[in-house]
Amino acid sequence: TVYPDYFYSEKDFDKSHMGYKPLTIPAGVEAQPLAVPPLLAPDKVDGNDIYYTIEAQEGESQILPGKKTKTWGYNAPLLGQTLVVKTGQRVHVRLKNSLPVLTSFHWHGMEVPGPITDGGCHAPVYPGEEKDIEFTVKQPAALTWLHAHPCPSTAMQVWMGLAMGVVVTDDNEARLPIPKNYGVDEFPIILQDRTFHDNQLDYRADYDPMGVFGEVPLINGVVRPYVDVTTQKVRLLFLGGSDRREWRLHFENDLTMTQIGGDDSFLRHPIDVKKLLIGPGERQQVIVDFAGYKEGDVVSLYTDDFKLVEFRIHAFEKDDRELPFNIFTPDDPAVNSEAPVRHVTMDDHDKINGLRFSMERIDMKQTLNSVEYWDVTNTNNSASGMLHPFHIHGAHFLVVSRNGQKPNPNEINVYKDTIEVGPGETVRLKVYFQNAGVFMYHCHIIEHEDAGMMAQIQIVDPKDPDKTYKLMDMETI
């Protein structure tokens, strides 16, 4: 089967909502090669231990013709370098803040202890300061990411450019017959949108509590990118990096994408899709087979009817490798029968279970490794509501059902950490944490998160049940 449509109903798309902004390419912008973030080089490797420095910094980027844009990035003027870690590795990171404001370094999708290593609101790094963290990679191959997460200015800092890819690799990936030559036949595609004011970003000017749309698409920080295709098959690691915008991807000529992965793992079985919706915070991995094209052809990737990326076909060798039916075996642990189903509601644009976020309030507790159902409901009514991308820090989950029905084909048997929930919809998740600590869960429309559609859970290790965590408050931060 080839799935022909998005797995969401069109009336729930953002096009119908207040504040929607269509995309545009500013006059005078020529097509330019897609920027591929360089791989971050380690400071040191010592057996299984690997050491990195990640520096949040100010910079300037030539995004539009004319004046450069003031931007922020990690070891780069904008976005960052790609960090590649391997399952089982012990990773040591020196976090350095060279910005004029405090920031935090959140590992979205990485299963690391909270709240300090996780890098949410309780882990500020002040201007000029350095902090060291370390963690063991306990998860399978996937594209995760690092982004700023200081409360309540996550959205502004991500808008300025603080986001980078963190790729997890493992032995399973190494043996799969898939493109894996980074920058040649494997590309991270960070999807974002920004508005420019005389070539500068001005988050306050564009602020909208319902979520900020940018007018100009930025793919890996580039407007109007093209990719030179030199292999028959290309693997794309999509990352929904917008504050608010959903991306509704499809190729020209209805070219099929073979989806192989979601947020935090490969899919058990690859599936063929024509269309792919990617919400804020989500990742989806696909392989595109250009067998039907020849040197000189151009085939483009669109969001709705807007052209995002041109793929320029060059001569390539034949590649008839076939994917096995099974490409990943997810764990599917039994649900703790003593645990009641948890109910989480996303209300209006700024509340979880009726409350705005408080840094000093623990909203729920769950035991380490206890597998529990979370029923996550978007309480916006279906006449006027929008999709809310629900995200949990420090854990992956399995999607069990949507309104009691089967989940979408690309969210079955795959590890997720961010899931779109439609207006009036309840999505049942199986959630378990393999690290203790305090973790946030929230809507990933970043303005909703900053406004308070966020809460926190404490994961209790039965071996150390009385452990407490120092929670920051808005005053001291």
Number of residues that bind ligand C2O (CB under 6 A): 11
Choosing from 122, 224, 391, 448, the residue that interacts with ligand C2O (CB under 6 A) is: 391
Interface contacts to Cu ion, rule CB under 5 A: 108, 388, 393, 443, 445, 448
State which residue, 224 or 448, has the beta carbon closest to Cu ion.
448
128, 134, 135, 141 alpha-carbon torsion, rounded to 10°: 60
Q: CB under 8 Å to 459, separation ≥6 — which residues?
A: 114, 365, 366, 367, 368, 394, 433, 435, 436, 437, 438, 439
How many C-beta atoms lie closer than 10 Å to residue 135's C-beta?
19
Q: Which two tokens stand for residue 161?
A: 């450019």
Question: Which of helix, strand or coil describes residue 446?
Answer: helix
Among 349, 393, 402, 416, binds ligand C2O (CB under 6 A): 393
Range in contact with ligand C2O (rule: CB under 6 A) among 213-221, 332-340, 382-390, 440-448: 440-448
- Nearest approach, Cβ of residue 294 and ligand C2O (Å): 41
Angstrom distance (rounded) from CA 86 to CA 233: 24
The number of residues making up the chain comes to: 477
- Options 92, 122, 147, 283; binder of ligand C2O; rule CB under 6 A: 147
Q: Which of 108, 194, 235, 448 binds ligand C2O (CB under 6 A)?
A: 108
DSSP3 helix / strand / coil % (the chain, rounded to 5)? 5, 40, 50
CA atoms within 13 A on the CB side of 415: 25
**Shortest Cβ 198–Cu ion spacing (Å):** 31
CB of 382 to Cu ion, least distance (A): 15
DSSP β-ladder status, 437-443 and 388-392: antiparallel
**Shortest Cβ 57–Cu ion spacing (Å):** 22
Site string for ligand C2O, 76-95 (x = CB under 6 A): --------------------
Regarding 442 and contact with ligand C2O (CB under 6 A), the answer is yes
Output the smallest distance, CB 321 to ligand C2O, in A: 34
Which residue, 232 or 377, is less far from Cu ion as judged by CB? 377
Verify binding: residue 440, ligand C2O, rule CB under 6 A: yes
Q: Least distance (Å) from Cu ion to the CB of residue 393?
A: 4
How many Cβ atoms from other residues are within 10 Å of residue 465's Cβ? 9
The DSSP symbol for 363 reads -
Footprint on this chain of ligand C2O (rule: CB under 6 A): 106, 108, 120, 147, 149, 281, 391, 393, 440, 442, 444
